[in-house]
Structure 1
């Protein structure tokens, strides 16, 4: 089973994953690709987003069919950051680069079973410092929700769920989605 927890920065992904792994120790954790980047590639911008998209896509494609993983972010997160960057007028990404990023992302999402998105909303207020670039955070959130509506990018296989509420509510909803897939596949 392949789960991708998706959302803008400071949306609760790490907390949800830690809680999920506490209940499901048989899953491996694929950390945020940001943690894998080397020095000099960690400044927000197209080069960093493309590097993280590549990391997240490669590791999803490289998984064996029998592996159970929960990934902190998938390639579509970084596609959303690229679109948000442009939407905010901070620069442009050449169309051919964006097209290639879309193709790589769609290919990597082909075998994902569950995508848990953590959209920003008024009820789940998570305070962030101005250093976290609230404008980029909000623009990425909007772009990500549009991307997950696009079957050409997310594929037909993944069950996409939007999680809201407190920590327990989010964990319960994710566990229910995973449990129903286990039952439907005869694994549970």
Structure 2
């Protein structure tokens, strides 16, 4: 079972992953690709997003169907960040970057069983630090919700679900989705 949890920064990904791993310790955690970036690539921007997309795509591409992992972010996140980068008028993303990012995303998501989207909404009351780029966060959220509906990117294999609610509601929803996948495959 290969799970990716996607969402804008400060959307509750880390908390949800920690909670589900508390109940499913057999799930290996693939951390946010941001943590794997080298020096000089940590400033938000197209180069950073493309580098993180490549990291997440590479690690998903190597997964075997029997592996049990939960990844914090996937390449779809970074494709959404690339799209969002243009929305606030920060600059254009070159077309060759788009092409590479889309191809990496589609290829990597072929190895994902469950794509969990954590959309932003006021009801979930997730605290955001003052220094966060709220315009980029909001634009990324909108882009992610549009992209997760693109079957050319998500493929036919992955089950895509959106989860909202408080911490317990999110955990229950993810547990139910994991159970449904287990029922379909014959093992949890």
TM-score bracket, normalised by the shorter chain, equals over 0.9
Q: Which runs of 5+ in 1 are unaligned?
A: none
Give the secondary-structure state (helix, strand or coil) at the position aligned to 2:4.
strand
In structure 1, the residue matched to 2:60 is: 60
Equivalent-residue separation in structure 1 for 2:61 and 2:54 (angstroms): 11
In structure 2, the residue matched to 1:48 is: 48
* Equivalent runs, 1:166-177 vs 2, <5 Å: 166-177=166-177
CA RMSD of aligned residues (A): 0.8
Give the conservation status (yes or no) of the 8 Å contact 2:63–2:111. no
Q: Which moved more, 1:98-107 or 1:10-19?
A: 98-107
Equivalent-residue separation in structure 1 for 2:135 and 2:160 (angstroms): 25
Give the secondary-structure state (helix, strand or coil) at the position aligned to 2:112.
coil
Give the secondary-structure state (helix, strand or coil) at the position aligned to 2:90.
coil
Q: CA deviation at 1:64?
A: 2.2
Q: CA deviation at 1:157?
A: 1.0
Q: Deviations over 1:129-169 (max 9, x none)?
A: 23110000000000000000100011111111111111110
Equivalent-residue separation in structure 2 for 1:16 and 1:3 (angstroms): 12
Equivalent-residue separation in structure 1 for 2:181 and 2:22 (angstroms): 19
**Count of matched residue pairs:** 188
* Equivalent runs, 1:1-188 vs 2, <5 Å: 1-188=1-188
Give the conservation status (yes or no) of the 8 Å contact 2:50–2:97. no
Output the TM-score relative to the length of structure 2.
0.98
Q: Which runs of 5+ in 2 are unaligned?
A: none
